[in-house]
Amino acid sequence: MNVFTTDKIRNVVLLGHCGCGKTALVDAISYLAGLKTRLEGEFGNTTKTSVVPVEWDGIKVNLLDTPGLFDYVGEVEEAVSVADAAIIVISGKSGIEAGTIRAWDYCEKRNLPRMVFVTEMDEDKASFREIVQELQEMYGKRIAPFHLPIRENEQFVGYVNVIQQKAKRWNDKGTVDKFDVPDYSQDNLTICRDALVEAVAETSEEFMERYFEGDEFSEDEIRQALRVGVCDATVVPVLMGSNTLARGMYTLMADVIKYFPSPDRCKCAGINTTNNEVFEANYDFSKPKSAYIFKTIADPYIGKYSLIKVNSGVLKTDEVLYNYHRDAEERLGKLYVIRGDKVEEVKELHAGDIGALAKLAVSQTTDTLSTKKNPITYIRTPISKPYVYMRYMAKNKGDMDKISQALSKMMMEDLTLKVVNDADNAQTLIYGISGQHIKSVQDTLLEKYKVEIELTKPKIAYKETIRKKADTEYKYKKQSGGHGQYGHVKITIEPSGDMSTPYIFEETVVGGAVPKNYFPAVEKGIVEAVKNGPLASYPVTGVKVVLYDGSYHSVDSSELAFKVATEQAFKQGFMQASPVLLEPIATMKVVVPDQYTGDVMGDLNKRRGRVMGMNPVEGGNQEIVADVPYAELYEYDTKLFSMTRGTGLFSYEFARYEEAPEGLKPEE
């Protein structure tokens, strides 16, 4: 691929709900750009962000195609972190969905310039007008429709350019013929033209005054105002087309180039670690080299690649750059651009461009590369924390090493994936964004790495404690020829008041009834006893054990005998001291639109949750705070998705242990 200077680059992320047509749109653009000989047609759900660089009218447009399913939110967050603008894709048939709203929120957080592209305009049920109106209701006067569809004999044949107020029809050559706006489009044109002019008026006080005075804006004035408004995200154009017919892409790409900023018009700053001063990179090719690793590909077929955005300078082959985070130098070797699953070598990458480096030794996603003379670090992209987890085991025990290696590679690629060894409950847990996300990991292990895991419901980390005091003794006596075994302890066991510590051990023995040299053995007996409690074999917490008396034999007593005697005395005393099962409680926050709060709170009550309060948060949502037992969190992601049509989000953290209700039977 050719080398492009910063002003000839556009970095555009495609966002939207699952199935809205993002990948099909990229496919149609690639086809029209000459990268493909035919349109692909049907696409499954995208699970990974792909970078597709397209050369269009001498400009390199790096299209970042992201998954629409929230299960793969980490992929979206990585892509958004390096985008300079966004296209929010909406299905003309399905309309605005949960993923549309989430896409808008991503753009708002980063103040990204954005356009809306409505697909499937060749479908009978598609309604461009309704989508525009709903967008205006949600986001106000920023919404500026650029086009209107024209249908004849139930066919999508052309469009009205709202800025020019002219109609255009596609011909067999793939170009357009101009014609008069049909009478049946005049009313919709008036509505869209008014919305567009109002959005333009909002861009300056002068335009606002003229608008109220009834002045007409010229086409040049409108376009100039749009250039400013789109770049500062105060104007959001709405365009439309058909992916399957490859119509609407020429106007979309022309507007991407015309209205979206090149990187040199964007801000970017890091920290120079030698003096802790701000380094204004701003995608300036003349400044010291620096690059940010926004994604890692660790594929068993194409190998490991680190996807980067060059934030300053010009990267060239065989250079050595410094990773401040790892305190290590990395030789770059060759430079690449990745187009989907194809890798292409390039001579250099200018500031603002997106490319790839192969087989970096230590660098990982969210690390920074720079020169050792000017060591720079950029703020790491915040990636969503995984809260859903399942227990996993190898179907074939001999595959455990292969599974561990494969999961390590997958976690390198996906920062929302986590593996935890829960030694207390003898289980290994895999964390993800959702149950579906974890299931996809299972599928990938089988398909790509040829190993199989079984997913099951995780054990809950219950604990055991006591509510009363008990006094008990145990005499361990064994005779089997020669030296025997003898250990005798009298202990009290009671609540310690400190639930963060398994046990507190004290001794008040007088007169040498139990010699001091056996005290450590007594404590070892307690240590063993609290690992698996007498009630249900869960760890014990919050008990105080006092050794106050006992006896010994000058010949037969041993450390082992006192250890065993203590274990048995502990078990007896524990069961006499009103034992109870403790369950872990989470403080959970659920963020949902207003209309779902009743359903969500009702469901939390069914899960033995206690709603502690409700707070309004940004986006017109409500945050419900509740204490919920961990045992009730299993598959909550699926239920919340169903209740809120995919709009609800939740997070939680461990709060404390509480007595479990009587009759609760922990699942094995």
Q: pLDDT for 356-402, tens place per residue?
A: 999 899 999 999 999 999 999 999 999 999 999 999 999 998 999 99
pLDDT confidence of residue 301: 72
Q: Hey, CA dihedral for 517, 518, 524, 526, is it positive or negative? A: negative
* 480 pLDDT above the threshold of 90: no
* 667 pLDDT above the threshold of 70: no
* 121 pLDDT above the threshold of 60: yes
What is the spatial distance between Cα 67 and Cα 73, in angstroms, rounded to a whole number? Answer: 8
Q: How many residues does the chain have?
A: 668
Task: Fill in the DSSP letter of residue 515.
Answer: -
Report the candidate in 417, 350, 375 with the shortest Cα–Cα distance to residue 367.
375
Residues 6 or more apart whose CB falls under 8 angstroms from that of 512 comprise none
Read off the pLDDT band of 628 (50, 70, 90). Answer: very high
pLDDT in tens, 326-360: 999 999 999 999 886 788 999 999 999 999 999 89
pLDDT confidence of residue 437: 96
What is the spatial distance between Cα 151 and Cα 185, in angstroms, rounded to a whole number? Answer: 10
Q: What share of the chain is helix, strand, coil (3-state, %, to 5)?
A: 30, 35, 35
Residues 6 or more apart whose CB falls under 8 angstroms from that of 607 comprise 628, 629, 632, 633, 636
- Spell out the SS3 assignment of 278-297: EEECCCECCCCCEEEEEEEE
Average pLDDT, the chain: 93
pLDDT confidence of residue 481: 65
What is the spatial distance between Cα 555 and Cα 371, in angstroms, rounded to a whole number? Answer: 73
Average pLDDT over residues 459-485: 90
What is the spatial distance between Cα 47 and Cα 45, in angstroms, rounded to a whole number? Answer: 6
* 668 pLDDT above the threshold of 60: no
pLDDT confidence of residue 154: 83
In degrees to the nearest 10, what's the CA dihedral of 587, 590, 591, 597? -130
Strand segments, DSSP code E, in 130-172 are 143-145, 147-152, 155-161, 166-170
* 271 pLDDT above the threshold of 90: yes
* 183 pLDDT above the threshold of 70: yes
pLDDT confidence of residue 620: 82
Q: State which H helix or E strand residue 471 sits in.
A: strand 470-478
What is the spatial distance between Cα 308 and Cα 330, in angstroms, rounded to a whole number? Answer: 14
What is the spatial distance between Cα 526 and Cα 501, in angstroms, rounded to a whole number? Answer: 13
* 40 pLDDT above the threshold of 90: no
Read off the pLDDT band of 172 (50, 70, 90). Answer: confident
What is the spatial distance between Cα 146 and Cα 123, in angstroms, rounded to a whole number? Answer: 20
What is the spatial distance between Cα 595 and Cα 632, in angstroms, rounded to a whole number? Answer: 23
* Structural contact between residues 493 and 566, judged by C-beta atoms closer than 8 angstroms: no
How much is the pTM?
A: 0.90
Beta-ladder partners of 11:
62
Beta-ladder partners of 344:
337
